[in-house]
Amino acid sequence: MDTPTDGPLGSSNELTPLPVDHARLRRAVRELLAAVGENPDREGLLDTPDRVARMYAEVFAGLRTDPAIFLQKTFTQKHDEMVLVKDIEFSSMCEHHLLPFFGKAHIAYLPNGRIVGLSKLARVVDAVARRPQVQERMTEEIADLVMTHLKARGVGVIVEAAHTCMSVRGVRKAGAMTITSSMRGGFLDHPMTRNELMALVFGK
């Protein structure tokens, strides 16, 4: 029997997982191989449907995780200045081609008397990234989650990523980086705050 696979975030903080239909995934991968003219029954491909099914369960584990859950526990802290967590590595799947894109996210916020454990911001990135995504929406979603649940005075999220759908197909431009940013509150209203964030992230 097929059982839902726990995501990389562990099971303790997860919502009741929606079932991942492994048998259906295996059938679909087999069908895909046949459709491109391969023989799914040749030795090298025999276990491929099962491997791909398990991989999909893993890379789409975010579909079974509510990212807001990581922002529920906050701490009272008198700290008015910017908090920045830099270089949070992530990998995601472009929803247009189902090919990976990966890179780093940088999350800054201006606390409003409440702070959150720094690792929790990395958990949020993982939960948002591990689903069919586009980088632009992912950036917005992270900013809105932090803004809403921390009631922050401002949030700045910058995501830089390489898209394999740009390198292995289409224009085939390996090495191109896509940078997106979402600014809320103080980061939107005050150019100096935004510039400080840019300098901290990109250096000079």
Contact call for residue 110 and Zn ion (CB under 5 A): no
Alpha helices in the chain (DSSP H): 22-35, 48-59, 118-129, 135-150, 164-167, 186-189, 191-202
Nearest partner of 130 among 168, 164, 106, 94, judged by Cα: 94
Contact call for residue 96 and Zn ion (CB under 5 A): yes
Of 137-166, which residues contact Zn ion (CB under 5 A)? 165
User: Sign of the C-alpha dihedral, residues 133, 63, 92, 171?
Assistant: negative
Residue 139 CB, nearest distance to Zn ion (Å)? 16
Contact call for residue 97 and Zn ion (CB under 5 A): yes
Judge whether 22 counts as a catalytic residue.
no
Q: Which is nearer to Zn ion, 165 or 188 (CB)?
A: 165
Helix (H, G, I), strand (E, B) or coil at 123: helix
Which residue number is nearest to Zn ion in terms of Cβ?
165
Site string for Zn ion, 170-189 (x = CB under 5 A): --------------------
Judge whether 97 counts as a catalytic residue.
yes
Helix (H, G, I), strand (E, B) or coil at 66: coil
Q: Which is nearer to Zn ion, 74 or 167 (CB)?
A: 167
Beta bridge partners of 103: 90, 161
User: Would strands 114-116 and 132-133 be described as parallel, antiparallel, or unpaired?
Assistant: unpaired
Q: How many residues bind Zn ion (CB under 5 A)?
A: 4
Q: Which are the catalytic amino acids?
A: 94-97, 135, 163, 165
Interacting residues with Zn ion (CB under 5 A): 94, 96-97, 165
